[in-house]
Chain A
């Protein structure tokens, strides 16, 4: 890679795009995909399933044992529920990923924003996982492992078919561009 010491990281993106196979990285902007809405539904459902019984239990127990004034603590889980509801929505909207010619991009987070790039050649293992509740909602999660344990490239909710397609494509590309350590 020829590079002037003066310009450190300005023009390189275009240079790399030029020597990549044509067609795949024609547009410098990656094609972002967002996660299915059922992931948001699942997370909200979990929130409700946890918070409502908690509120009921707190209200009943404290109301009966410590006096009606204490039952006001039941408002705490409800407040958490009301606060968490839109937060989950924002978090869900922030998740997105893009497959580029040579690497996978994952973006997430609202307050703590994180963007991860994993070159396909570095991939050691692709894992698709789906719990009973996730299956019910037609979801699967996909995780990429590289030789670095710190690499945290997980997509928590995907359509199972999309997860499988992505898995196959990633392993295929990983083999083609294998680089190891």
Chain B
């Protein structure tokens, strides 16, 4: 857990070069190639095709952007010029795709994932395994057809440049298992043979429930009604087809994205538990598989939209530093959600609605009506706050994940003797306990700072399997 330990483990980095597909270090145009015996690998040979899209997309974009100009230019050219240009473009694209594939290498050492890429501008990324926050294996629709997948390690600061696209499905699964085994602290010799950890299924969201939950989401209906109502009104008032299409299409698109798009993305949502951590698998067309190792979850939120309340459904969101996904369970009965949270944050019980203490009644002068929605509960494992009156959100932060604590008090709050306490976490989320009694807030601030300091002592180490 402490820095010095980790550094000491960096040293033994000799690996037998036993694989026939070894590429000699110092391969063509590789000035930064590591001299030591690290096995470098290439991406799947289908990868160049991905790059070949670029010039075609540029051409198509130009034609769409300026159809008249494009048409005129194209008809002006003789047929053979056109063929030559098209052929040249395809060859250039293929060459570019091939070269960028040829110059991209990756290697897994005991402590790092190294990615070396770039044709003209060379780029080397060394991603430390003990800083691993999550591993994503994603398969867009076309990649599924081709039997490949992309793999991304979530570490704070990584972006789309650091994903390995594409690997064959088998390799991606094996690499994920290896990365997780090494990050977990398995001995280097055994890390490659640990294999996939067994998964126990915790939640599976039935498609019917997902569809009903999306139908019961207010924003979808608001967008749909706006998409159907605004264009006719605009047409009646302005008679300008451009304006009508310009507003109608984005509105329809947004309505589609928030209903159909969400359904496609969250279809077949599974939450599993394995020794490697939490598994999230979902997607109808594009498949996404995320693995979050133990102890990486910074905050968990239980969101309860108004229309779901009668059915007792909730959505659970989570924040992991460096990860783009924020949904844990798109829809589930509350009891199930609470059970899942207890597995993810060991030792945490989700406080019941009655256990939350409300702000003092005088805070109604600061936040009329909605002050009733605020609530706070501090247990020995989490800092939990709730806000919202119609749709409710309960946010949980384990004490060990608190980065800093802040108390704020505006002039109006001071007049009414209340203050807000904010708790900040490493995933850039701030959870606030609003409108607490001023004296209580002061005590809470001090106590929370102590708890966040001591909470870390009982937390699991970063290398969760290390003894």
Residues in chain A within 8 A of chain B (CB atoms): 1-3, 5, 8-10, 12-13, 16, 102-103, 111-119, 121-122, 146-153, 175, 177-181
A121: chain B residues within 8 A (beta carbon): 453, 456
Once the chains are docked, how many angstroms separate the CA of A149 from the CA of B133?
17
Q: Is the CB of B452 within 8 A of A119?
A: yes
Q: Is the CB of A112 within 8 A of B446?
A: no
Choice from A1, A16, A102, A114 contacting B408 with Cβ under 8 Å: A114
Q: Is the CB of A148 within 8 A of B426?
A: yes
Q: Please give the distance in Å from B383's CB to the nearest CB on chain A.
A: 10
A179: chain B residues within 8 A (beta carbon): 453, 456
Q: Is the CB of B428 within 8 A of A150?
A: yes
Q: Is the CB of A115 within 8 A of B2?
A: no
B133: chain A residues within 8 A (beta carbon): 181
Once the chains are docked, how many angstroms separate the CA of A178 from the CA of B107?
29
Q: Please give the distance in Å from A174's CB to the nearest CB on chain B.
A: 11
Known: A1-B454, A118-B404. A150 touches B156 (CB 8 A): no
- Can you offer 19 A-B residue contacts whose CB atoms are under 8 A? A1-B455, A8-B377, A12-B446, A16-B454, A111-B410, A115-B445, A116-B407, A118-B404, A122-B404, A146-B426, A147-B426, A148-B427, A151-B404, A175-B3, A177-B453, A179-B453, A180-B1, A181-B133, A181-B296
Least CB separation from B423: chain A residue: A148
Least CB separation from B296: chain A residue: A181
Once the chains are docked, how many angstroms separate the CA of A13 from the CA of B451?
9
B450: chain A residues within 8 A (beta carbon): 12-13, 16
Interface residues on B, range: 35 or more
Q: Is the CB of A10 within 8 A of B453?
A: no
B456: chain A residues within 8 A (beta carbon): 121, 179
Known: A119-B453, A146-B403. A112 touches B380 (CB 8 A): no
Give the residues from 292 to 336 in chain B that come closer than 8 angstroms, CB to CB, to chain A.
296, 298, 321
Q: Please give the distance in Å from A62's CB to the nearest CB on chain B.
A: 34
Known: A12-B451, A112-B408, A119-B449. A151 touches B2 (CB 8 A): no
Least CB separation from A118: chain B residue: B404
Per-position 1/0 for B11-44, Cβ under 8 A of A:
0000000000000000000000000000000000
Q: Is the CB of A180 within 8 A of B424?
A: no
Number of A-B contacts (CB under 8 A): 114
Q: Is the CB of B443 within 8 A of A13?
A: yes
Q: Is the CB of A114 within 8 A of B454?
A: no
Once the chains are docked, how many angstroms separate the CA of A112 from the CA of B452?
25
Known: A10-B443, A12-B450. A117 touches B378 (CB 8 A): no
B192 at the interface (CB under 8 A from A): no
B443: chain A residues within 8 A (beta carbon): 9-10, 13
Once the chains are docked, how many angstroms separate the CA of A16 from the CA of B449?
10
Q: Is the CB of A117 within 8 A of B409?
A: no
B425 at the interface (CB under 8 A from A): yes
Q: Is the CB of A3 within 8 A of B380?
A: yes
B201: chain A residues within 8 A (beta carbon): none
Q: Is the CB of A5 within 8 A of B379?
A: yes
B3: chain A residues within 8 A (beta carbon): 175, 178
Q: Is the CB of B403 within 8 A of A122?
A: yes
Least CB separation from A110: chain B residue: B411
Q: Is the CB of B424 within 8 A of A117?
A: no
Known: A13-B443, A119-B404. A102 touches B453 (CB 8 A): yes
Give the residues from 372 to 428 in chain B that come closer than 8 angstroms, CB to CB, to chain A.
377-380, 401, 403-411, 414, 419, 422, 424-428
